[in-house]
């Protein structure tokens, strides 16, 4: 039987050809409003539009069997109880973001430790001012909180510049680029050791606002905090307080509780806070890497055995 696939992102002819070679299928590339007339025939949804009202869309897709997302995070989909309890298979693109996100994190850390933003500000003002506080990453300790595929790639990059890496994950396992591993019950111990705290957690009920006043109080006063996971993992008011009171030395946020970040958000004006517009995972290789996972899964979808990145909809990842 020919599977009917709907993609909400325009695919190139070569990308569609590779998908066709992976299974008996027909692909339509349309935006949700344009695709409505096809909903009744769709077997597979490739990509997900965050603006979709799943309560409205699901009844229109009685044949829907599988959704593959281009993102790793799927909390918006799983917020819909009808979808979460359905038999629809969900796979994500976990693993494709590791390299660009690790490079983003390393670049942020180097910018902070080598005072590159301060140097850039001096350049714009035509000030020749030798900086007195540049530091090294070599020999410093980084705590990676959340050791999935992204966290592992981050740990690998940081070990390659001579850092000591501690990490936190739900279950303790042997990890090649980690010097010391803590389970989630010992998060505070990991935070207390770190010069840099890097958050790569999924957003679940257990991680919602995990980084609050209590967590920031566990960190060194010289610690630099980085969040590239989900905005709601952090209590932003508590972070503002921690930075304003110099409880920690600095922070970098790529994700926020509300996006786009409102113009009147107090975060914009906090000293020693670097803001980027949720772009740490962006790469020209992004789509091809996600489609490679999808194509591999499409080949074995009829059996549904051995598929990659299948999301446990009850756990949330």
Catalytic residues: 230, 259, 278
Closest CA to 226 of 164, 146, 293, 307: 146
Provide the 3-class DSSP secondary structure of residue 304. Answer: coil
| Tokens read off for 150 | 């992204």
Helix H segments across the chain? 13-22, 32-35, 54-57, 75-78, 81-84, 98-113, 116-124, 149-160, 187-193, 213-218, 236-244, 286-300
Angle at 261 between CA 73 and CA 219, to 5 degrees: 70
| Tokens read off for 137 | 């990453």
Closest CA to 6 of 68, 84, 58: 68
How many whole angstroms separate alpha carbon 262 and alpha carbon 80? 26
């Amino acid at each position: 039987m020919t599977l009917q696939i709907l993609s909400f992102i325009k695919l190139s002819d070569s990308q569609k050809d590779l998908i066709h070679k992976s299974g008996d299928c027909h692909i339509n590339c349309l935006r949700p409003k344009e695709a409505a007339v096809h909903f009744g025939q769709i077997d597979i949804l490739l990509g997900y539009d965050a603006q979709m009202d799943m309560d409205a869309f699901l009844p229109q897709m009685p044949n829907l069997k599988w959704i593959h997302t281009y993102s790793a995070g799927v909390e918006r989909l799983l917020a819909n109880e009808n979808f979460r309890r359905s038999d629809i298979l969900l796979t994500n693109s976990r693993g494709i973001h590791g390299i660009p996100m690790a490079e983003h994190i390393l670049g942020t850390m180097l910018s902070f430790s080598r005072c590159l933003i301060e140097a850039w500000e001096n350049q714009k003002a035509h000030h020749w001012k030798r900086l007195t506080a540049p530091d090294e990453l070599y020999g410093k300790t980084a705590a990676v909180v959340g050791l999935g595929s992204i966290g592992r790639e981050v740990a690998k990059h940081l070990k390659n510049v001579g850092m000591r890496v501690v990490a936190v994950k739900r279950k303790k396992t042997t990890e090649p680029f980690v010097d010391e591993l803590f389970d989630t019950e010992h998060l505070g111990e990991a935070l207390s050791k770190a010069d840099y705290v890097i958050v790569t957690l999924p957003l679940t009920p257990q991680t919602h606002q995990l980084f609050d006043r209590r967590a920031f109080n566990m960190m060194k006063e010289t610690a630099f905090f980085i969040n590239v996971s989900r905005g709601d993992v952090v209590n932003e008011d508590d972070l503002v307080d921690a930075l304003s009171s110099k409880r920690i030395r600095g922070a970098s946020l790529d994700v926020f509780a509300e996006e786009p970040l409102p113009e009147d958000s107090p975060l914009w004006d906090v000293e020693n806070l670097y803001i980027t517009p949720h772009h740490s995972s962006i790469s020209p290789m992004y789509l091809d890497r996600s489609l490679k996972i999808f194509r591999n899964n499409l080949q074995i979808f009829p059996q549904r055995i051995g598929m990659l990145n299948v999301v446990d909809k009850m756990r949330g990842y």
